[in-house]
Amino acid sequence: MTAIAKILLLGSGELGREFVISAKRLGAHVIACDSYAGAPAMQVADEAEVFSMLDAAALGAAIEKHKPDFVVPEIEAIRTEVLKDYEDRGLNIVPSARATIMTMNRDRIREVAATELGLPTSKYLYAETLEAMHAAVAVVGIPCVVKPVMSSSGKGQSIVRAAEDIDPAWAYAVAGMRGDRQRVIVEAFIPFDYEITLLTIRTREGVLFCDPIGHRQERGDYQESWQPAAMSPAAIGAAQDMARAVVDNLGGYGLFGVEFFVVGDAVIFSELSPRPHDTGMVTLISQNLTEFDLHARAILGLPIPAMTQYGPSASAVILADREAKDFVVEGLDAALRTLTPGVDVDVRVFNKPTTRPYRRMGVALALARNGDTDAARAAARRAAAKVTITYRD
């Protein structure tokens, strides 16, 4: 049998795992890659490769070995020059090599959004030394948010609320930094009413949007998300216009998670992922086509005739709190028992081989068929709290 497409997946976490399932359901053959064996997506893929995505030679060797039709990045930290090289030679990089290059570092996508497209963003400056950061904070103002230009899930991110926070914020950012450039972005803190992810799908037939997803973050990392987020039509329209402008600029086909802060009717662009978004895991229960199904269809050029929302839904994360290799995830039985009439609950366990503080080990999902997003959020949080990790080492 010949598969409809061969996909090389770069990064094999929980988002990659769901993408593999969606792609395989459509008949694709998937090779899952990550820097460690037994990663979530590898557990369900056809083949696996273990190497660092930042190792140019190893990345090139994996592409040569498997000769995929599509390269689908699941993470940001990739030797994107290699992807550009292969794209120039005709390989399909998802959504485009330009999108992976522009979003790998916060400063590049910020320049596209703020300078090239003129979208509203927080006031910001960059710094490459502690002295420069003091100067940047003086201009941007306090409070401000400091982040390494290359990092994800809140790593190295902190809020400067007073002058004495500047030195520790620099040290924390340097420690949490990935890649080869020591550089931080200093952003004015936006006292937003709420923040959203707008899942935006760029297809050959046009740009589509899912209902906005609200989310709550702690330490720069997502804790719970819900869909639909209550938003005025004016704010939704503004967010859609901005999302369309950014994805059209980045090019290619696939699903993007575009993040915005909302203050009243003012919508401020924050950042985006040119791939499924962690807060979008709520679509595993909220819609007929999940964000992973949508990504797979857009990539493979398959139609997306209708997106149906089943009802107000929510997700809540299940986190580890220490480092361990020998542990067991328990409490599924209690979590899966119906907690509220009319609310469906489900749980996904990621089967990561080790734990560390705050590592995401699973997610609880809830769909409030006749309720509201608050009912779904409460149910997802309760279900997540019933899943416990018992450490044995």
Q: Which token pair is 78?
A: 């990739």
Among all chains, which residue has been given the structure tokens 């400056």?
A: 125
Using rule CB under 6 A, residue 122 touches ligand ADP: yes
Q: Answer yes or no: 259 catalytic.
A: yes
- Quick one: which segment of 31-39, 60-68, 184-192, 341-349 binds ligand ADP (CB under 6 A)? 184-192
Q: Answer yes or no: 221 catalytic.
A: no
Q: Answer yes or no: 372 catalytic.
A: no
Using rule CB under 6 A, residue 224 touches ligand ADP: no
- Quick one: which segment of 3-11, 186-194, 323-331, 379-387 binds ligand ADP (CB under 6 A)? 186-194
Q: Answer yes or no: 278 catalytic.
A: yes
Measured CA to CA, the distance from residue 393 to residue 351 in angstroms comes to: 17
For the chain, what percentages of helix, strand and coil (3-state, to nearest 5) are there?
A: 35, 30, 35
- Quick one: which segment of 149-157, 206-214, 292-300, 361-369 binds ligand ADP (CB under 6 A)? 149-157
Measured CA to CA, the distance from residue 55 to residue 38 in angstroms comes to: 20
Q: How far is the CB of 184 from ligand ADP (least distance, A)?
A: 12
Q: Apex CA 229: angle with CA 286 and CA 77, to 5°?
A: 75
Q: Answer yes or no: 311 catalytic.
A: no
> Distance between alpha carbon 55 and the CA centroid of its chain, in Å?
22
Number of Cβ atoms within 10 Å of the Cβ of 59: 25
When binding is defined by CB under 6 A, the residue of 100, 270, 283, 373 that contacts ligand ADP is 270
- Quick one: which segment of 58-66, 85-93, 183-191, 330-338 binds ligand ADP (CB under 6 A)? 183-191
Q: How far is the CB of 67 from ligand ADP (least distance, A)?
A: 32
The H or E element spanning position 61 is helix 56-66
The H or E element spanning position 239 is helix 233-250
Footprint on residues 152-171 left by ligand ADP (CB under 6 A)? 152-154
Residues 150 and 177: beta-carbon distance below 8 Å: yes
Q: Answer yes or no: 154 catalytic.
A: yes
Could you give the 3-state DSSP secondary structure of residue 83?
helix
When binding is defined by CB under 6 A, the residue of 69, 107, 271, 346 that contacts ligand ADP is 271
Q: Which residues are catalytic?
A: 152, 154, 259, 271, 278-279, 360
Residues that bind ligand ADP in the complex, under the rule CB under 6 A: 122, 145, 147, 152-154, 187, 189-190, 195, 217, 220, 259, 270-271
